[in-house]
Amino acid sequence: MASFDLKEAAQLLADELEQQKFGEAPETLYAPLRYILSLGGKRLRPALTLLGCYLFDDDYKKAIDPAIGVEVFHNFTLMHDDIMDEAPLRRGKMTVHEKWNSNVAILSGDVMFVRSYEYISNVEDKILRQALALFNKCAAEVCEGQQFDMDFEERETVGEEEYIEMIRLKTAVLIGFALRLGALIGGATDEQSKVVEEFGVNVGLGFQLKDDILDVYADQDKFGKQVGGDIISNKKTLMLIKALKQAEGADAVELQNWLEAKDFDKEEKVAAVTDIYNRLGIREMATEKSNEYFTKGFAALENLDVSEDRKNLLKEFGVYLQNRDH
Amino acid sequence: MASFDLKEAAQLLADELEQQKFGEAPETLYAPLRYILSLGGKRLRPALTLLGCYLFDDDYKKAIDPAIGVEVFHNFTLMHDDIMDEAPLRRGKMTVHEKWNSNVAILSGDVMFVRSYEYISNVEDKILRQALALFNKCAAEVCEGQQFDMDFEERETVGEEEYIEMIRLKTAVLIGFALRLGALIGGATDEQSKVVEEFGVNVGLGFQLKDDILDVYADQDKFGKQVGGDIISNKKTLMLIKALKQAEGADAVELQNWLEAKDFDKEEKVAAVTDIYNRLGIREMATEKSNEYFTKGFAALENLDVSEDRKNLLKEFGVYLQNRDH
């Protein structure tokens, strides 16, 4: 009997990824590619491509190559983003530009982008053009999102809608694409694949907003990154945007002082800003917004004509993202 | 009556390029893309795509979009290469990473890469998969060539064959691809398109070797770059590789001293190393090697079953590259 398990799918992909060669020489070009892929990660995005396929076809393994393409693309964006963010660590290990140098990270990223096109193109002729067009759109949007993210760092203020649009582009569209690509491989109609994408984009938005909340409120022992990183760097998340809007009197002054502080104790700043968030009820507001998108994603599924047990796989995935605490 | 002129084709492409939007927002992502394309250049590579098409079909204008893709790809590689080479100028104007910053140049380059896939995919269904596969191969090879080029900078010695392989990857394969893509769009058989590509790769090799010679021997008034740039930077071109192999006694000592010199007068170094090249007959050796590839390219055309007048367009292009003095 056909069945599907997201963790099993992720493991299958991890195994497949390890077996790919990606390229021979020069070693300085391909070793960083293999290195970043070896750092692990949950392989959620490519697993979603397999799941998207399984919704319409038991034989989800035919989506493995395109799924690998999704993961290679995602890691390409991480490699280039890490240069831009001057990030020293990725998943607890040295980033590529630290381990080698920025030039290597630029070029190795570029060749990963080529490989992602190769893997994603490994679909049947009848959906090749559409798969490509969707990938092109998604890839350009991810670049746009990253650029908005960098632009926002330089700006005094960012609006709520602008922030939502930025994370839609930077994070959510890839989740939507990963699912829709799988659905098309599984034989979904264009209409069906759009519904699956709509689900993906919305839970992707909910996921990123949840991520922002965890960045402030996660248990440090479970959380992979430093709790409070966004607060330390004055990242204009929805939470900060809402806090700036809501804060009055002493809270407003204190928040502004922390934002302008040059020399500060990191823990002190995180504790103080978190206190302000607590007083203003920012966590609840952000959670409400996050849940709004999850709800919108689940609602989209009502328009999806596949069996309930398969639809439940998508719901379970959404609930998993919604409830994670690290 | 159908006719084709490479300069007219380049002008047509320049006009078309100006009319493309490429993207809206954020401006920081798309302005650098339009900027680098506005710097001009001979538009040779995309003109070759039109020429490749015209060899097999009067209606070469149907290759315009893929030709634009070739030019956008070429400029994407220039944008990223300029970051890696820390180049201040491109065609006499500020490079993108200087005018904006490296992060903008990385990301704007990435989105150019996406756009090149979009334009190149604008071919008929029956050749879409092949066009993509050829472009993927070409793009990965260009990355490999650039990485070898950077690796060679760190190495003590580079062999002649290694150098040739590096410039084949970095420069020649794109010329071969540009032509072959056009040929396929024009309706060439796979076999015919391969011959056209073989011509392109070989004149591409001849072109780069000629470029190296001009870097030393061009008339500064006509040459766009600084004459002697490769000598100043100890670039391990075929000329330097040959000189290191041929030099004996006092020449060998002097050449080695210049290569190791930290503080030197640039003009003095260029003059001195050029003198050594002159004494060793390096210009002649390099010219012979360059001509060998042009000859090989011309010879390939004997296997091409298109009319002599169209074949002559390719020959004229090769002769133009071979004889240019700047």
- pLDDT, residue A225, reads 77
Question: B170, B186, B202: which is the final residue of a domain?
Answer: B186
Element (H, E) at A275: helix A266-280
Mutate to test the interface with B, among A24, A108, A144, A170 (most CBs of B within 10 A): A144
Q: Are residues B84 and B209 in the same domain?
A: no
Regarding whether B226 and B149 lie in a shared domain, the answer is no
Return the structure tokens found at B304: 């091409």
CB B67 within 8 A of CB B75: no
Model pLDDT, residue A224: 73
Rounded mean pLDDT, B126-155: 97
Q: Do A132 and B110 touch (CB under 8 A)?
A: no
Residue contact A26–B104, C-beta within 8 A: no
| pLDDT tops 90 at residue B326 | no
- Of B186, B212, B235, the last residue of a domain is B186
The answer to whether the Cβ–Cβ distance between A150 and B103 falls below 8 Å is yes
pLDDT digits over A238-272, tens only? 999 999 999 999 999 999 999 999 999 999 999 99
Decide if B1 is inside a domain. Answer: no
Residue of B106, B150, B163 to mutate, testing the A interface (most A Cβ within 10 Å of its Cβ) = B106
User: Is the model's pLDDT at B141 over the cut of 90?
Assistant: yes
In angstroms, the CA B141 to CA B132 distance is 14
* ipTM score assigned to the predicted complex: 0.96
pLDDT exceeds 60 at position B103:
yes
Give the domain CATH number at B138. Answer: 1.10.600.10
Q: Which pLDDT score, from 0 to 100, does residue B1 have? A: 52
Q: Given B186, B221, B237, which residue is the final one in a domain?
A: B186
- Is there a contact between B144 and A29 if contact means CB atoms under 8 Å apart? yes
Whether residue A103 has pLDDT greater than 70: yes
Whether residue A133 is found in the same domain as residue A193: no
* pLDDT tens profile B269-292: 999 999 999 999 999 999 999 999
What type of residue sits at position B298? F
Per-residue pLDDT averaged across A130-140, rounded?
98
Same domain? For A151 and A204 the reply is no
* Residues B228, B156 share a domain: no
Distance CA(B130)–CA(B190), nearest Å, equals 9
Q: Are strands A89-90 and A93-94 parallel, antiparallel or unpaired?
A: antiparallel
Does the CB of B261 have a partner CB in chain A at under 8 Å?
A: no
HEC secondary structure over chain B: CCCCCHHHHHHHHHHHHHHCCCCCCCHHHHHHHHHHHHCCCCCHHHHHHHHHHHCCCCCHHHHHHHHHHHHHHHHHHHHHHHHHCCCCEECCEECHHHHCCHHHHHHHHHHHHHHHHHHHCCCCHHHHHHHHHHHHHHHHHHHHHHHHHHHHHHCCCCCHHHHHHHHHHHHHHHHHHHHHHHHHHCCCCHHHHHHHHHHHHHHHHHHHHHHHHHHHHCCCCCCCCCCCHHHHCCCCCHHHHHHHHHCCHHHHHHHHHHHHCCCCCHHHHHHHHHHHHHHHCHHHHHHHHHHHHHHHHHHHHHHCCCCHHHHHHHHHHHHHHHHCCC
- Dump pLDDT digits (tens) for A260-313: 999 999 999 999 999 999 999 999 999 999 999 999 999 999 999 999 999 999
pLDDT score, position A222: 83
Number of domain units in chain B: 2
Which of B291, B314, B296 has the alpha carbon at shortest distance from B210?
Answer: B291
User: Which residue range(s) make up the domain with A226?
Assistant: 189-326
**From the CA of A24, how many Å to the nearest CA of chain B?**
10
Q: Say whether both A162 and A195 belong to one domain.
A: no
Residue B122 lies in a domain: yes
Same domain, B182 and B249: no
Do B223 and B113 belong together in one domain? no
Question: How many CB atoms within 10 Å of residue A303?
Answer: 12
Partner residue facing B143 (CB), from A110, A133, A140: A110
Q: Does one domain contain both A108 and A251? A: no
Q: Do both B95 and B220 map to the same domain?
A: no
Q: State whether A197 and A77 are in the same domain.
A: no
Interface touch B80/A23, C-beta < 8 Å: no
Same domain, A77 and A129: yes
